[in-house]
């Protein structure tokens, strides 16, 4: 069954041209011109026939007039129906509308024949407009595609296509321009609008050395960025590819209706034939034209347009609402599947925590003041790019940081160096044990990560380093439980003690740490043995890719997440907020609710009018209004999802 698309006088519709038609046709008033011409001719004909009752407007003149009214809207449908028949698809909506309207002309009901096709055309135009609106949030992402890049080559900037910029080159972005490629900010700071990428309208301030994404809009000052990804690998290119392919992956509901439509259409066609011819054997005063008229009404109302268009339209609306909120689904299937999840597995770092270390507490030894401890430690860590070193360097300090020399990294343990003539050690407990340095007993009771410091082979203090929870993490876990997620589990490669502590803070009862990727995968596969569990896994790292692929729904944090995780996942959260999982579930449930409302509405009304038409209690005008009316109600109901504020 073809999807109803736009009504056009010069385009034969088929499945292959569907997306192309939606994207490139209907330029202005031209798409409405055939329907307008038919409407004017139909109204004029009715006035000539029934109001003015002109004597010449009879027989062949009347027939020719209504044929002229029929052609602008009828010819494209007749041609599409003939093309479908040649392609082996006989029972399409084009076939139904063609038979019904030609039959109306055969029995002399010319105005009704024109009206059926005219209302069908108008309905198609409304459907097309609704599809464009529903897909608007998705298609708006295409406007993010940067067209030019200003690249530093030689001593001046050259304007070129983003696809022609190499990794390592420096690009300049002026105020109001889109960043064309992913890279590292060279300028001291930048204020960026990431609304179209993440759904967040609040400007984001980026400091020197941090990552910036293609598609972001520069709000203040001219900035320079060193490119670290080719255009085809950039965040915006990845998002566009996901969006362009999302609607091609059909949900089970949508595929079911397609299959039913292929069975339903020939059945109603044969039933219409039965209504027309079987009464010959049972009715004494059989009049062929009367029973043909009833059969034609039956055909008109049986057209499954409302079902075929409103279901994909509901999913388009859901996908669009999700993308507007910074959630990218790789297909309508996962929009459905997310609503069924009852078991949620979470990674820790970068998923419920920020993935950014911060110094929580400082414990100097009794004979060393806090500032001396930090001056010494920061001198040693100043040359390191490790996340822990960056967390230490972010601390406030009185006075200047002294210079460290002879810095040596001891693999897996920490650093040693000379600061102001003294040997300094900074690292984990095993580093101090290597130098036979004793540590106080309370150190062993701290579950968070520690940086232990020794000066001249004597313990000098320690720092507690911890990753921060995301602001919405705790509230999100509580809400997910209330929404019916029966089991929430945390699996992490971090220390088991740290993992359990974070899980306890979030109210998660089941947690395991110290897991390798294969250990996580084993845990997921064990859970999947219970066929009643629908499992979603949320992660962000390369090591999460196997688990994302194995779970029923893989959800990747798209901001901090690795490319491998994002490519493997079924759902991508651009804002890295756990609360977006809740929004995704709500959007999926809203889409399902609207789709089933449309299914019940369409079938209910059609059955009533079909029965009425078969028993002669409905006219073709009523059939047309019922069919078009149901389609329009279904469309209006489907597009609501894009305007809802429930998430």
Poorest-confidence range of 94-103, 249-258, 496-505, 623-632? Answer: 249-258
Distance between CA atoms of 608 and 242, rounded to whole angstroms? 42
Catalytic residue, from 347, 494, 540, 627: name it. 347
**Of 420, 322, 331, nearest to 377 (Cα)?**
420
**Residues 107 and 164 placed together within one structural domain of the fold:** no
Residue 136 has pLDDT above 70, yes or no: no
**Residues 109 and 183 placed together within one structural domain of the fold:** no
Provide the sign of the torsion angle of the four alpha carbons 370, 373, 377, 382, taken in this order.
Answer: positive
SS (H, E, C) 83-98: HHHHCCCCCCHHHHHH
**Residues 190 and 266 placed together within one structural domain of the fold:** no
Encoded tokens for 217 = 């809009």
Predicted confidence at residue 185, as pLDDT, reads: 93
DSSP state of 556: E
Q: Are residues 130 and 639 in contact, defined by beta-carbon separation less than 8 angstroms? A: yes
Provide the sign of the torsion angle of the four alpha carbons 523, 529, 532, 536, taken in this order.
Answer: positive
**Residues 448 and 534 placed together within one structural domain of the fold:** no
The domain spanning residue 394 has which CATH number? 3.40.1110.10
Residue 133 φ then ψ, to 5°: -70, -45
Specify if 4 maps to a domain.
no
Distance between CA atoms of 266 and 126, rounded to whole angstroms? 26
Predicted confidence at residue 542, as pLDDT, reads: 56
Q: Which residue has the higher pLDDT, 286 or 625?
A: 286
The domain spanning residue 200 has which CATH number? 2.70.150.10
**Residues 384 and 519 placed together within one structural domain of the fold:** no
**Residues 435 and 464 placed together within one structural domain of the fold:** yes
The domain spanning residue 521 has which CATH number? 3.40.50.1000
**Of 595, 352, 644, 613, nearest to 474 (Cα)?**
352
Provide the β-strand partners of residue 449: 465
Whether 347 sits among the annotated catalytic residues: the reply is: yes
**Residues 101 and 43 placed together within one structural domain of the fold:** yes
**Residues 515 and 593 placed together within one structural domain of the fold:** no
Specify if 396 maps to a domain.
yes
**Residues 537 and 458 placed together within one structural domain of the fold:** no
The 10s digit of each residue's pLDDT in 536-584 is 999 876 567 778 888 899 898 876 555 656 667 888 887 788 999 999 9
Q: Are residues 156 and 166 in contact, defined by beta-carbon separation less than 8 angstroms? A: no
Distance between CA atoms of 385 and 398, rounded to whole angstroms? 22
- How remote is the C-alpha of 136 from its chain's centroid? 13
Question: How many domains is the chain built from?
Answer: 4
The 10s digit of each residue's pLDDT in 441-466 is 898 888 787 899 999 999 999 999 88
**Residues 503 and 542 placed together within one structural domain of the fold:** yes
Residue 218 φ then ψ, to 5°: -75, 125
**Residues 32 and 97 placed together within one structural domain of the fold:** yes
The 10s digit of each residue's pLDDT in 252-300 is 555 555 566 667 777 877 888 888 889 898 888 888 888 887 887 777 6
Predicted confidence at residue 42, as pLDDT, reads: 87
Where do runs of H (alpha helix) occur along 47-92?
A: 59-86
| Residue ranges making up the domain that contains 402 | 355-469
Distance between CA atoms of 111 and 279, rounded to whole angstroms? 26
Distance between CA atoms of 498 and 446, rounded to whole angstroms? 9
**Residues 433 and 497 placed together within one structural domain of the fold:** no
Predicted confidence at residue 559, as pLDDT, reads: 61
Distance between CA atoms of 369 and 71, rounded to whole angstroms? 93
Residues of the chain above pLDDT 70, percent = 78
- CB within 8 Å of 306: residues ≥ 6 apart: 598, 601, 602, 627, 630, 631, 634
Counted residue by residue, the chain has a size of 647
Helix and strand numbers, DSSP H then E, in the chain: 22, 22
Q: Are residues 440 and 458 in contact, defined by beta-carbon separation less than 8 angstroms? A: no
**Of 14, 94, 110, nearest to 269 (Cα)?**
94
pLDDT band at 3, cuts 50/70/90?
Answer: very low
**Of 359, 360, 514, 365, nearest to 442 (Cα)?**
365
């Amino acid at each position: 069954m073809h999807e109803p698309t736009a009504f056009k006088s010069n385009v034969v519709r088929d499945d292959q041209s569907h997306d192309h038609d939606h994207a490139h046709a209907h330029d202005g008033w031209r798409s409405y011109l055939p329907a307008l011409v038919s409407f004017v001719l139909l109204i004029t004909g009715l006035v000539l026939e029934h109001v003015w009752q002109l004597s010449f407007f009879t027989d062949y003149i009347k027939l020719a007039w209504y044929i002229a009214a029929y052609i602008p809207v009828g010819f494209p449908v007749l041609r599409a129906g003939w093309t479908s028949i040649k392609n082996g698809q006989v029972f399409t909506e084009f076939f139904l509308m063609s038979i019904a309207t030609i039959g109306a002309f055969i029995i002399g009901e010319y105005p009704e024949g024109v009206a059926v096709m005219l209302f069908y055309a108008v309905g198609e135009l409304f459907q097309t407009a609704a599809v464009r609106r529903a897909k608007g949030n998705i298609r708006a992402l295409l406007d993010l595609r940067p067209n030019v890049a200003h690249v530093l080559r030689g001593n001046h900037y050259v304007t070129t296509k983003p696809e022609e910029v190499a990794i390592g080159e420096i690009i300049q972005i002026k105020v109001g321009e889109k960043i064309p490629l992913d890279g590292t900010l060279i300028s001291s700071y930048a204020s960026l609008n990431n609304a179209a990428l993440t759904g967040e309208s609040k400007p984001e301030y980026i400091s020197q050395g941090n990552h910036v994404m293609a598609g972001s809009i520069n709000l203040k000052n001219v900035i320079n960025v060193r490119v670290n990804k080719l255009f085809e690998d950039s965040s915006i290119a990845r998002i566009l590819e996901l969006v362009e392919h999302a609607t091609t992956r059909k949900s089970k509901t949508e595929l079911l209706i397609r299959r039913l439509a292929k069975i339903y259409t020939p059945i109603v066609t044969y039933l219409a034939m039965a209504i027309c011819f079987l009464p010959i054997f049972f009715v004494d005063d059989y009049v062929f034209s009367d029973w043909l008229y009833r059969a034609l009404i039956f055909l008109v109302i049986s057209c499954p347009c409302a079902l075929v268009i409103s279901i994909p339209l509901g999913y388009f609306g859901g996908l669009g609402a999700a993308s507007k909120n910074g959630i990218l689904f790789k297909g309508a299937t996962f929009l459905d599947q997310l609503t069924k999840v009852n078991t949620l597995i979470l990674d820790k770092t970068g998923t419920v925590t920020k993935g950014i270390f911060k110094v929580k507490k400082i414990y100097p030894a009794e004979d060393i003041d806090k500032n001396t401890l930090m001056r010494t430690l920061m001198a040693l860590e100043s040359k390191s790019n490790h996340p822990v070193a960056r967390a230490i360097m972010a601390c406030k300090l009185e006075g200047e940081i002294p210079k460290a020399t002879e810095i040596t990294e001891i693999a897996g343990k920490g650093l040693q160096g000379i600061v102001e003539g003294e040997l300094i050690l900074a690292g984990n407990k095993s580093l101090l044990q290597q130098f036979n340095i004793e540590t106080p007993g309370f150190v062993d009771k701290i579950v968070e990560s520690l940086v232990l410091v020794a000066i001249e082979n004597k313990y000098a203090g320690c720092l507690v380093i911890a990753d921060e929870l995301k602001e919405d993490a705790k509230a999100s876990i509580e809400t997910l439980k209330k929404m019916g997620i029966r089991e929430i589990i945390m699996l992490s490669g971090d220390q088991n003690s740290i993992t359990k502590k974070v899980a306890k803070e979030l109210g998660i009862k089941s947690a395991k740490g110290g897991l390798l990727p294969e250990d996580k995968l084993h845990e997921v596969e064990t859970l999947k043995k219970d066929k009643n569990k629908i499992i979603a896994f949320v992660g962000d790292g390369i090591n999460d890719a196997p688990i994302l692929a194995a779970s029923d729904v893989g959800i990747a944090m798209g901001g901090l997440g690795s490319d491998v995780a994002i490519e493997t996942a079924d759902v991508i959260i651009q804002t890295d907020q756990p609360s977006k999982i809740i929004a995704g579930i709500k959007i999926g449930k809203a889409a399902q609710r609207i789709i089933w409302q449309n299914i019940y509405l369409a079938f209910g009304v059609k059955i009533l009018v079909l029965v009425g038409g078969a028993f002669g209690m409905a006219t073709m005008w009523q059939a047309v209004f019922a069919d078009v009316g149901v389609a329009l109600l279904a469309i209006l109901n489907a597009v609501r999802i894009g305007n809802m504020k429930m998430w």
